[in-house]
């Protein structure tokens, strides 16, 4: 069958660059990972220089001191266990909030009144920083995991619901009709048509929710630990500040940054590549 | 032994609309889009709804599909009244985004078989591959829709509709967004498939030559609101007759009926 419109070649196929020697610097520089590493190394060098010049390890430890404090805290202080405790609480709150938001948004899609309710609630609660709820959460639920969970759910629920709702609203009319044509209704329709079609917005909502949750949790843990037995990462930072172990405070902060980066740059990037980028919904 | 005598009533038409009236809600109250249109399609027929913009042809198709509730009148599939959408009437849309972008071409075709026909995974896969082979898309089985050209997307959508084996296929200007060469190729391929599979089709278009070519019967509509203008039998006019005197004659006549002028035709 003759097919005149078989422009089937992927758009990203470009002519090969001219042959180069295998280990060229400029070729290496074009790798994003390499560039980032070089920038990070430069920042570390500036840090080291500034700290040596300041010569005040109590307030501003050097890079190398921070690295050794990181290693030591990991070995003897169980810093990674603290991080794990933080992440466990975070994932619980995150999962509750995402599930709740999806239920709310599905309802809002189906029932016009619920849409108004959800939009009013998001407009009200979105500007309210989650950490501002912590005093109230502590009064209601005491110093414990449930108070943290309340704050976390608040941090994730509204921005994620907003993103998911706008994603559902943007699903092309034709794809909705296709789903209805096959007799899909209710939860099956949401799961098989709306959710995948809205995935770009949902993923970006998940990313925003993750960033909010991580910041909120660390901030909340600065006030009290996750539980009596195992404090979280924020608590680790707070404890070491009280003992003036500034290099460990820096190590704790670095861990917060590292975990944030890994989730954002590795986990979400991989999910995006496997889904929305692969489907041509996002570049 | 003689079979017991059955009282054979004539089989009801595959698809029938009686006194179909459709209104659209606007800010200034309801606007009548279609008024008291009767139509009926028998098995193997290809009914083309043809008319200028505003004649409600797409609204009629949406109502037949069950997407648009009728203000009055009834729609029957094989004699049973229907009120909502269902896989007994599969629609092929004009829009290229009718393929679900998160599924490969093969999974797009297998999807309605899984959800609407409850076919096993393996069988859905086999039937999807067979349907895609029919429309010449074997090479694109594992591609995602965004990598396909417009013509290939419409082919895949037609394959998806065929694989489901609905009572009637509903096509809403499926070739209108294609370039002229691709459109002609797809028209020819659709006719070849119709010859082979004898499916029942309702086809909406605003192009007179396409209507005469594709249809076995034309249903002409006048605009504002859409009313039945005339019916014409075109079963005798197919690919072989394109450019013939009879084909040109009918095209001119339909143009006159629709636009009230004998000058040229579109």
pLDDT digits (tens, 9 = 90+) for B158-204: 999 988 888 889 999 988 888 888 888 888 888 888 888 888 999 99
In a domain, A62, yes or no: no
In a domain, A60, yes or no: no
- Do the Cβ atoms of A182 and B87 come closer than 8 Å? yes
Q: Name which of A2, A178, A180 is nearest B100 (Cβ-Cβ).
A: A178
Beta carbons of A280 and B147 less than 8 Å apart: yes
Q: Name which of B97, B100, B151 is nearest A5 (Cβ-Cβ).
A: B151
Please give chain A's pLDDT, 283 residues, in tens. Answer: 444 444 444 444 445 555 555 667 788 888 878 888 899 899 999 999 999 998 888 888 999 999 998 898 888 878 888 888 888 889 999 999 999 999 999 888 888 899 999 999 999 998 888 888 888 888 898 887 888 899 999 999 999 999 999 999 999 999 999 999 998 888 888 889 989 999 999 999 999 999 999 888 888 888 775 454 567 888 888 888 888 888 889 998 998 888 888 888 889 888 988 888 888 887 7
In a domain, B1, yes or no: no
Where helices occur in chain B by DSSP H, the ranges are 57-65, 105-115, 121-134, 150-163, 180-197, 208-214, 245-259
**Which one, of A259, A257, A239, lies nearest residue A249 by Cα?**
A239
In a domain, B266, yes or no: no
pLDDT at B49 over 60: yes
User: Strands B15-26, B227-233: parallel, antiparallel or unpaired by DSSP?
Assistant: unpaired
Beta carbons of A181 and B85 less than 8 Å apart: yes
**Which one, of A126, A121, A200, lies nearest residue A167 by Cα?**
A200
B172: CATH: 3.40.50.300
pLDDT the model gives residue A197: 92
Beta-carbon contacts of A185 under 8 Å, excluding residues fewer than 6 positions away, are none
- Do the Cβ atoms of A200 and A282 come closer than 8 Å? yes
A102: CATH: 1.10.3720.10
Three-class secondary structure of residue B146 per DSSP: helix
In a domain, B160, yes or no: yes
Long-range contacts from B250-259, C-beta under 8 angstroms, 24+ separation: B250/B212, B251/B208, B251/B209, B251/B212, B254/B50, B254/B208, B254/B211, B254/B212, B254/B218, B254/B220, B255/B208, B257/B220, B257/B229, B257/B230, B258/B50, B258/B51, B258/B52, B258/B208, B258/B220, B258/B222, B258/B229, B259/B52
B106, two tokens: 């093969």
Q: What is the chain B residue with the closest CA to A2?
A: B185
Q: What is the mean pLDDT of residues B24-51?
A: 87
Three-class secondary structure of residue A4 per DSSP: coil
- Do the Cβ atoms of A6 and B136 come closer than 8 Å? no
Residue B103: how many other CB atoms lie within 10 Å: 17
Residues of A in contact with B183 (CB under 8 A): none
In a domain, A281, yes or no: no
Q: Name which of A8, A182, A278 is nearest B87 (Cβ-Cβ).
A: A182
- Residue B85 Cα, gap to closest chain A Cα (Å): 5
pLDDT the model gives residue A230: 63
Three-class secondary structure of residue B134 per DSSP: helix
d(CA A168, CA A153): 21
Ramachandran quadrant class, B257 (left: phi over 0; alpha: psi -120 to 50; beta: rest): alpha
Residues of B in contact with A183 (CB under 8 A): 85-87, 115-116
Q: What is the mean pLDDT of residues B61-90?
A: 88
pLDDT at B10 over 80: no
d(CA B98, CA A74): 53
- Do the Cβ atoms of B131 and B165 come closer than 8 Å? no
pLDDT at B7 over 70: no
d(CA A64, CA B23): 75
- Do the Cβ atoms of A189 and A180 come closer than 8 Å? yes
Would the CA dihedral through B31, B91, A179, B88 be positive or negative? Answer: positive
Structurally, chain B folds into a number of domains equal to 1
Beta-carbon contacts of B35 under 8 Å, excluding residues fewer than 6 positions away, are B21, B225, B226, B227
| Mutation target vs B (from A182, A274, A277; most B CBs, 10 A cutoff) | A182
Question: Which chain A residues touch B if contact means CB-CB below 8 Å?
Answer: 1-8, 10, 172, 174-175, 177-178, 180-184, 188, 192-193, 196-197, 199, 275, 278-281
pLDDT the model gives residue A75: 86
Residues of B in contact with A1 (CB under 8 A): 136, 189
Half-sphere exposure of B37 (CA within 13 A, CB side): 35
Residues of B in contact with A199 (CB under 8 A): 102
| Mutation target vs A (from B100, B104, B113; most A CBs, 10 A cutoff) | B100
Q: What is the chain B residue with the closest CA to A277?
A: B102
B4, two tokens: 């017991």
pLDDT the model gives residue B252: 86
In a domain, A36, yes or no: no
pLDDT digits (tens, 9 = 90+) for B216-225: 888 888 888 8
In a domain, A277, yes or no: no
d(CA B63, CA B65): 5
List the strands of the sheet with B217-222, edge to edge. Answer: B89-92, B168-172, B201-205, B46-50, B217-222, B227-233
pLDDT the model gives residue A167: 92
d(CA B202, CA B37): 15
Residues of A in contact with B87 (CB under 8 A): 181-183
Note down the domain range covering A171. 78-237
pLDDT the model gives residue B212: 85
In a domain, B181, yes or no: yes
Tell me the CA distances in angstroms from A58 to A61, A242, A250, B93, one per residue in order: 7, 12, 11, 70
- Give me the total of CB pairs closer than 8 Å, taking one residue from chain A and one from chain B: 91
Beta carbons of A4 and B151 less than 8 Å apart: yes
Q: What is the mean pLDDT of residues B149-164?
A: 89
- Do the Cβ atoms of B91 and B161 come closer than 8 Å? yes
Beta carbons of B115 and A184 less than 8 Å apart: yes
d(CA A146, CA A128): 19
pLDDT the model gives residue A228: 45
- Residue A167 Cα, gap to closest chain B Cα (Å): 15
In a domain, A208, yes or no: yes
Note down the domain range covering B93. 15-259
β-bridge partners, B48? B203, B218
Q: How far apart are the first and last CA of chain B?
A: 60
pLDDT at B261 over 80: no
In a domain, B230, yes or no: yes
pLDDT the model gives residue A20: 53
pLDDT digits (tens, 9 = 90+) for B204-250: 998 888 888 888 888 888 888 888 887 888 877 777 778 788 888 88
In a domain, A9, yes or no: no
pLDDT the model gives residue A202: 92
Beta-carbon contacts of A189 under 8 Å, excluding residues fewer than 6 positions away, are A179, A180
Structurally, chain A folds into a number of domains equal to 1
pLDDT the model gives residue B36: 85
d(CA A70, CA A68): 5
B96 secondary structure, DSSP code: G
pLDDT the model gives residue A240: 86
pLDDT the model gives residue A47: 92
pLDDT the model gives residue A22: 63
């Amino acid at each position: 069958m003759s097919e005149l419109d078989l422009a089937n070649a992927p758009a990203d196929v470009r002519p090969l660059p001219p042959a180069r020697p295998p280990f060229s610097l400029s070729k290496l520089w074009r790798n994003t990972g390499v560039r980032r590493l070089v920038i990070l190394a430069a920042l570390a060098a500036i840090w080291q220089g500034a700290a040596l010049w300041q010569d005040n390890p109590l307030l501003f430890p050097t890079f190398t001191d921070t690295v050794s404090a990181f290693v030591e805290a990991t070995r003897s202080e169980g810093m990674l266990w603290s991080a794990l405790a933080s992440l466990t609480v975070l994932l619980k709150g995150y999962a509750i909030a995402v599930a709740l938001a999806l239920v709310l948004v599905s309802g809002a899609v189906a029932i016009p009144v619920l849409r108004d309710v959800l939009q009013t609630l998001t407009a009200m609660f979105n500007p309210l920083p989650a950490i501002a709820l912590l005093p109230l959460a502590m009064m209601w639920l005491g110093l414990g995991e449930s108070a943290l969970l309340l704050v976390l759910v608040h941090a994730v629920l509204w921005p994620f619901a907003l993103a998911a709702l706008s994603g559902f609203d943007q699903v092309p009319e034709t794809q909705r009709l296709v789903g209805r044509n096959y007799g899909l209704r209710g939860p099956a329709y949401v799961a098989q048509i709306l959710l995948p079609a809205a995935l770009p917005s949902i993923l970006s909502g998940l990313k925003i929710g993750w960033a909010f949750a991580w910041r909120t949790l660390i901030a909340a843990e600065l006030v009290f630990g996750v539980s009596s037995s195992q404090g979280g990462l924020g608590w680790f930072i707070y404890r070491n500040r009280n003992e003036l172990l500034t290099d460990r405070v820096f190590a704790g902060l670095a861990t917060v940054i590292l975990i944030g980066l890994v989730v954002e740059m590795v986990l979400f990037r991989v999910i995006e590549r496997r889904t929305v980028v692969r489907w041509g919904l996002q570049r | 032994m003689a079979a017991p005598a059955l009282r054979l009533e004539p089989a009801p038409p595959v698809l029938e609309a009686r006194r179909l009236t459709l209104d659209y809600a606007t800010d200034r109250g309801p606007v009548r889009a279609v008024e008291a249109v009767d139509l009926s399609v028998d098995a193997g027929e290809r009914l083309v709804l043809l008319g200028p913009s505003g004649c409600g042809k797409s609204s009629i198709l949406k109502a037949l599909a069950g997407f648009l509730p009728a203000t009055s009148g009834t729609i029957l599939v094989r004699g049973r009244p229907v009120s909502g959408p269902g896989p007994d009437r599969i629609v092929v849309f004009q829009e290229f985004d009718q393929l679900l972008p998160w599924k490969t071409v093969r999974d797009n075709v297998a999807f309605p078989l899984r959800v609407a026909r409850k076919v096993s995974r393996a069988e859905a896969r086999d039937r999807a591959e067979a349907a895609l082979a029919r429309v010449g898309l074997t090479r694109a089985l594992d591609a995602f829709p965004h990598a396909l050209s417009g013509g290939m997307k419409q082919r895949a959508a037609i394959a998806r509709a065929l694989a489901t084996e609905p009572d009637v296929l509903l096509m809403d200007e499926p070739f209108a967004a294609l370039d002229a060469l691709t459109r002609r190729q797809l028209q020819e391929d659709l006719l070849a498939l119709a010859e082979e599979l004898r499916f029942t089709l309702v086809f909406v278009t605003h192009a007179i030559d396409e209507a005469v070519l594709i249809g076995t019967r034309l249903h002409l509509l006048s605009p504002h609101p859409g009313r039945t203008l005339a019916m014409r039998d075109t079963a005798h006019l197919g690919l072989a007759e394109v450019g013939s005197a009879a084909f040109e004659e009918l095209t001119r006549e339909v143009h006159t009926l629709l636009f009230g002028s004998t000058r040229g035709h579109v």
